[in-house]
Copies of this chain bind each other. A is one copy, B any other.
Amino acid sequence: MSAAEVEARLGDLPDWGIDQHKLFRHFVFSNFVDAWGFMSQVALLAETMNHHPEWSNVYNRVEIYLTTHDADGISEKDFALASQIDSLL
């Protein structure tokens, strides 16, 4: 996906940006239980879609980076997963 295509698609995902050439979103929850509940939903989504995030958690905070190693960059799969993640919230 070209940089211009990525930029255009980002219009549909206002809470996501680009960081380190990956699709990125930062989430803040009330506490660890809420953050973990969200992550558990994302884990099931990711496994079902066979497309997994690069992500980290510190207590109530979650950072998700999406990229497609096979495509050496951001692909349709990343936008599809990002959209599904947003729909969890």
Contacts and interface: CB of A to CB of B under 8 A. Distances in A.
B58 A32 contact: no
Contacts of A32: 43, 46-47, 52
A41 B47 CA distance: 18
A29 interface: no
Indicate how many identical chains form the complex: 2
A53 B32 CA distance: 10
Interface string A49-64: 0001111111100000
A57 to B, nearest CB: 6
A38 B58 CA distance: 17
Given A40-B40, A47-B33, A56 B55 contact: yes
A13 B58 CA distance: 23
Nearest to A43: B36
Given A52-B59, A55-B57, 11 more contacts: A32-B43, A32-B46, A32-B47, A33-B47, A36-B43, A36-B47, A40-B40, A54-B57, A55-B58, A56-B56, A56-B57
